Amino acid sequence: MKQASLIIIGDEILSGRTDDKNLAYLAKWLGKLGINLSEVRVVLDDESAIIEAVNNLRVKYDYVFTTGGIGPTHDDITTECVAKAFGVKTRIDDDALEKMKEFLAGKELTEPLLKMLRIPEGGELIYSPATKAPGYKVDNVFVMAGIPRIMQGMLEGMYDYLEIGEIMHSRSFDIMVGESFFAEDLTHIQANFPEVLVGSYPFSKEGIYGATIVLRSTDESLLDSCELKVKDLISKY
Amino acid sequence: MKQASLIIIGDEILSGRTDDKNLAYLAKWLGKLGINLSEVRVVLDDESAIIEAVNNLRVKYDYVFTTGGIGPTHDDITTECVAKAFGVKTRIDDDALEKMKEFLAGKELTEPLLKMLRIPEGGELIYSPATKAPGYKVDNVFVMAGIPRIMQGMLEGMYDYLEIGEIMHSRSFDIMVGESFFAEDLTHIQANFPEVLVGSYPFSKEGIYGATIVLRSTDESLLDSCELKVKDLISKY
């Protein structure tokens, strides 16, 4: 199964000012393609932090996605940093320039607009239905905007570059009792089904503790058998 | 200014099943103490991933916080991993055991309950008003539960261990025009106020592009002067 990672770039996420929406969206989108999201890093709009994350993760995972920092303002430094991570310069793409001129229809092509057409040498443009300014890929690194609607459009354009894996099926069941009551039984179930990922995610609702037991596997018949055991367990409470 | 990082531990976040709520809460809580949240990593319930993140970040930042994976089930492996990261064994804390026995009032102290009382050698318990099972700190690593309400309680107990910094003040202003229109002017403002962090965070609302310009500094009088320039800029549109 291919493994992916995501770098969320932006001071606004780390200050708590903006809630990230892209992690969950990307995770589910990749899940449907049979690709695992295995690690996420959130970094500041800081050159060395971005370069380090890109260079760490692009050797560690099959795919690296980034969100944020490709706009026209001075704090948008993602493209510059991705180029530095790959040791290349940036260039203005002719095709993107053509499309932007058409869009502007005679209006001035300012420096900030030009900045958004810049991509690292060796990169390929990936258009989004939502904007004239494209995302792009360099090797296994996919660079996207931070605004969710635009990011989601760019992601569709990246589909063709990804290798589809076996789909992970998942089933989940709520149990309305604290985890410590059923933890030992659940350990036995996991031991009997080593090829099913058995997870337990506690919650509290109006002061009552419960948990969601999640089973994940590429094999549906294994999930069927495992589900029976989990239902037996739940019926005890 | 002290720098902090956060490790969010849990398959459920990386599968997109659960939205993390702890990042934004921790960021704002630390911000009020004058401590910067500088990096976040989200990792799987996987031993090597957790150990690597703990060991990377505890040398890189003043404080490392972790959330998740300290419950009683088989997929809760945070404590074991933190102990391995520090090269120590785990122990059952006498004080925590005492409190748990009181709480149980004669009921059976099962293996899963005992598991939650285990902390790495050299660690100190940190109680939460919300639960009998404590969080803990080892050196500069603060280990907390993943359930937001419990995590927030544990965080209050960690206050005494943190060094308060200079408070970063922030002011934000919406401008209802695309970033490319004002990017050059904003670059000049940033250049004239090198000690103010000037950020621009684009959004789209009902199809109209705009951005929030955020100014951050420990110096309120600098913010006053910078604010005037930003208001001049906004009034142009």
Closest CA to B224 of B186, B196, B190: B196
CB contact under 8 A, B183 and A73: yes
ipTM of this complex prediction, to 2 decimal places = 0.92
Q: Among B161, B190, B215, which residue terminates a domain?
A: B161
Query: What's the per-residue H, E or C state across chain A?
Result: CCEEEEEEECHHHHCCCCCCCHHHHHHHHHHHCCCEEEEEEEECCCHHHHHHHHHHHHHHCCEEEEECCCCCCCCCCHHHHHHHHHCCCEEECHHHHHHHHHHHCCCCCCHHHHHHCEEECCCEEEEECCEEEEEEEECCEEEECCCHHHHHHHHHHHHHHCCCCCCCEEEEEEECCCHHHHHHHHHHHHHHCCCCEEEEEEEEECCEEEEEEEEEECCHHHHHHHHHHHHHHHHCC
| Percentage of residues of chain A with pLDDT beyond 90 | 78
B 73-92 residues with CB < 8 A to A? 73-75
The DSSP H or E segment spanning B105 is none
Question: Does position B220 have pLDDT exceeding 70, yes or no?
Answer: yes
Question: Does position A131 have pLDDT exceeding 80, yes or no?
Answer: no
Query: Which residues in B lie closer than 8 A to residue A72 (C-beta atoms)?
Result: 179-180, 183
Write out the two tokens for A140: 């296994």
B121 in the same domain as B48? yes
Least CB–CB distance from B112: residue in A10, A24, A184: A184
Q: B180: helix, coil or strand? A: helix
- Give the pLDDT of residue B14: 97
Write out the two tokens for A47: 């050159």
Tell me whether residue A52 is exposed, middle or buried, using C-beta atoms within 10 angstroms of its C-beta: 0 to 12, 13 to 18, 19 or more.
middle
B106-159 tens-digit pLDDT? 888 999 989 988 999 999 998 777 666 679 999 999 999 999 988 998 998 898
Contacts by B96-99, CB closer than 8 A, 24 or more apart: B96/B125, B96/B133, B96/B134, B99/B132
Closest CA to A30 of A63, A69, A73, A67: A63
CB contact under 8 A, A214 and B184: no
CB contact under 8 A, B39 and A39: no
Query: Is the overall model pTM greater than 0.80, yes or no?
Result: yes
A206 in the same domain as A153? no
Query: Is A17 in the B-facing interface, judged by CB distances under 8 Å?
Result: yes
Q: What is the CATH number of the domain that holds A38?
A: 3.40.980.10
Q: B76: helix, coil or strand? A: coil
Alpha helices in B61-214 (DSSP H): 78-86, 94-104, 111-116, 148-158, 179-192
What is the Cα–Cα distance from B203 to B72, expressed in whole angstroms?
42
A80 in the same domain as A9? yes
What is the Cα–Cα distance from B28 to B37, expressed in whole angstroms?
9
A179-227 tens-digit pLDDT? 999 999 999 999 999 999 999 999 888 878 899 999 999 999 999 999 9
Nearest residue in chain A measured CA to CA from B189: A74
A217 in the same domain as A124? no
A209 in the same domain as A141? no
A 159-178 residues with CB < 8 A to B? 170, 172
B103 in the same domain as B180? no
B105 half-sphere exposure, CB direction, 13 A CA radius? 1
CB contact under 8 A, B71 and A179: yes
Query: Is A55 in the B-facing interface, judged by CB distances under 8 Å?
Result: no
Query: Is A54 in the B-facing interface, judged by CB distances under 8 Å?
Result: no
Query: Which residues in A lie closer than 8 A to residue B14 (C-beta atoms)?
Result: 27, 36-40
Number of A:B CB contacts under 8 A? 178
B99 in the same domain as B124? yes
Nearest residue in chain A measured CA to CA from B37: A14
B107 in the same domain as B69? yes
Please provide the average confidence, as pLDDT, over all residues in chain B: 93
B134 in the same domain as B71? yes
Least CB–CB distance from A74: residue in B17, B26, B187: B187
CB contact under 8 A, A44 and B24: no
Least CB–CB distance from B201: residue in A16, A18, A186: A18
Write out the two tokens for B46: 């996987």
CB contact under 8 A, B17 and A214: yes
| Percentage of residues of chain B with pLDDT beyond 90 | 78
Rounded mean pLDDT, A31-35: 95
Query: Which residues in A lie closer than 8 A to residue B190 (C-beta atoms)?
Result: 74-75
A45 in the same domain as A144? yes
Query: Is B45 in the A-facing interface, judged by CB distances under 8 Å?
Result: yes
CA-to-CA dists, residue B118 to B40, B72, B76, B111, B133, angstroms:
26, 10, 12, 11, 10
CB contact under 8 A, B74 and A40: no
Q: Among A139, A161, A183, which residue terminates a domain?
A: A161
CB contact under 8 A, A16 and B37: yes
Q: What is the CATH number of the domain that holds B177?
A: 3.30.70.600
Least CB–CB distance from A27: residue in B14, B31, B150: B14
Rounded mean pLDDT, B84-113: 90
- Give the pLDDT of residue B203: 87
A176 in the same domain as A89? no
Please provide the average confidence, as pLDDT, over all residues in chain A: 93
- In which domain, by residue range, is A154 found? 3-161
- Give the pLDDT of residue B161: 95
Domains contained in chain A, number: 2
Query: Is B31 in the A-facing interface, judged by CB distances under 8 Å?
Result: yes
Q: Among A105, A130, A161, which residue terminates a domain?
A: A161
A148 in the same domain as A195? no
Angle at A67 between CA B152 and CA A114, to 5 degrees: 140
Measured from the Cβ of residue B64, the count of other Cβ atoms closer than 10 Å reads: 28
